[in-house]
Amino acid sequence: MSFKTRMASLESYDKGTIEVNDDLRHYAFSNIFEVCSKSKPYERVMVVSNLEYAAEAVRAEGASPWYTAPHDEFAIVLDGEIEFTFFQLTDAEKPAHKAGAGRLKAAPAGKRMGRVIARRGHEVLLPKGAAYQLKAAKPSVTLIQTSAGPESVEKWSEICVQK
């Protein structure tokens, strides 16, 4: 038997299946590209949950709101090109929530820290103490490693393979 690995994209993916000798209800399996194809821009859909930790599939398209988290987060770009812009938070902007990403009410007032332009396979640190915004000229996909928080959306019954 021979196998071929092919990297999917938002425009070209196979739904996929899961084969286990067990009851599928014991497992969560979804296709990140399918999740993002059905998501609104910057809807942070949880595709992994382990204790308080989460991975969120995000469809990047246009400009996102400004986000911040009380801990480091990491983003891996899986499709397209995404610009990440960073500003230092002022004391008044520091997050009140304990985990996960939260939206700022307005553009950050702190000092500009810089930007990263990332493409497929690039990983970007979203540091504690910073506000960040994502921008994508065309629909793109990123996976954000974080903790479940105010922006996390759970759609398990909609996104997981059921049979």
- Whether the CB-CB separation of 28 and 156 falls below 8 Å is answered with yes
* Adjacent-strand bridge partners of 150: none
pLDDT digits (tens, 9 = 90+) for 75-128: 999 999 999 999 999 999 999 999 999 999 999 999 999 999 999 999 999 999
- Banded model confidence at residue 5, pLDDT cuts 50, 70, 90: confident
Distant-in-sequence, close-in-space partners of 9: CB < 8 Å, separation ≥ 6: 33, 79, 141
Residue 33 CA to residue 13 CA, distance in Å, equals 7
Of residues 43, 97, 42, 40, the one with CA closest to residue 68: 97
Residue 31 CA to residue 26 CA, distance in Å, equals 17
* Adjacent-strand bridge partners of 131: 87
CATH superfamily of 41-155: Jelly Rolls (2.60.120.10)
Handedness of CA 29, 30, 31, 32 (dihedral sign): negative
- Whether the CB-CB separation of 58 and 44 falls below 8 Å is answered with yes
Phi, psi of 113, rounded to the nearest 5 degrees: -100, -25
Average pLDDT, the chain: 93
The three-state secondary structure class of 48 is strand
Q: Which amino acid is at 21?
A: N
pLDDT of 15 higher than 80:
no
Residue 61 CA to residue 80 CA, distance in Å, equals 10
- Banded model confidence at residue 18, pLDDT cuts 50, 70, 90: confident
Domain ranges of the chain: 41-155
